[in-house]
């Protein structure tokens, strides 16, 4: 006599929604570095301030200048006056100004880096109904 095998059919239905709430914040982080122009820095109509001449806000001397990223920008001040980006070239080794800056003038380099943070919270109202039939 053959074995009797039950046959079941299951049908599931999913209903509901999934929603996601996302909160994003962007925080700027400024860093300022200052140097005083000395006579050897001024050659002709160019002033080149080496990285080692800059100090940070804690008075610590730099060895290299920060590198700009896609999330940062630089502002240069000479004697407290903002300089156009066309008037200087920033590299890791120095800041070259396209002018003869007065000896003794302060040069401030400000780098602002933006950091974005996002938090997503999903909410589900999903329900599953399963019907089993023979």
The tally of CA atoms less than 13 A away on the side-chain side of residue 65 is: 25
Instruction: Find the mean pLDDT for residues 29-43.
Output: 96
> For residue 35, is it within any domain?
yes
Cα 131 to Cα 14, 48, 87, 128, distances in angstroms: 12, 79, 75, 10
Question: Which structural domain range is residue 114 located in?
Answer: 26-120
| CATH code of the domain in which 73 resides | 2.40.30
Instruction: Please state the pTM of the whole predicted model.
Output: 0.72
> For residue 102, is it within any domain?
yes
Instruction: Find the mean pLDDT for residues 8-34.
Output: 94
Q: Is the pLDDT of residue 6 over 90?
A: no
Q: What are the residues facing 78 on neighbouring strands?
A: 81, 107
> What band does 2 get if pLDDT is binned at 50, 70 and 90?
confident
For residue 27, count CB atoms less than 10 angstroms from its CB and return exposed for 0-12, middle for 13-18, buried for 19 or more: exposed
> For residue 38, is it within any domain?
yes
Tell me the per-residue pLDDT of 55-86, one tens digit each, with 9 for 90 and over.
999 999 999 999 999 999 999 999 999 999 99
In sign, the C-alpha dihedral spanning 71, 76, 80, 82 is negative
Q: What pLDDT does residue 8 have?
A: 87
> For residue 6, is it within any domain?
no
Task: State how many domains the chain has.
Answer: 1
Q: What pLDDT does residue 4 have?
A: 83
> For residue 131, is it within any domain?
no
Q: What pLDDT does residue 80 have?
A: 95
As a whole number, the mean pLDDT across the chain is 94
Q: What pLDDT does residue 127 have?
A: 92
> For residue 129, is it within any domain?
no
Name every residue whose Cβ is closer than 8 Å to that of residue 79 and which is 6 or more positions away in sequence.
102, 105, 106
Tell me the per-residue pLDDT of 105-125, one tens digit each, with 9 for 90 and over.
999 999 999 999 999 999 999
């Amino acid at each position: 006599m053959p074995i009797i095998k039950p046959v079941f059919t299951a049908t599931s239905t999913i209903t509901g929604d999934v929603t996601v709430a996302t909160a994003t914040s962007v925080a700027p982080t400024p860093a300022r570095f200052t140097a005083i122009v000395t006579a050897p820095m001024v050659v002709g109509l160019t002033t080149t301030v080496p990285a080692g001449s800059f100090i940070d806000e804690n008075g610590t001397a730099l060895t290299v200048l920060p590198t700009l990223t896609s999330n940062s920008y630089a502002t240069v001040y000479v004697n407290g006056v903002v300089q156009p980006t066309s008037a200087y070239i920033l590299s890791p080794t120095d800041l070259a100004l396209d002018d003869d800056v007065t000896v003794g003038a302060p040069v401030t380099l400000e780098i602002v880096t933006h950091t974005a943070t996002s938090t997503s919270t999903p909410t589900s109202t999903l329900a599953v109904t399963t019907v089993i039939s023979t």
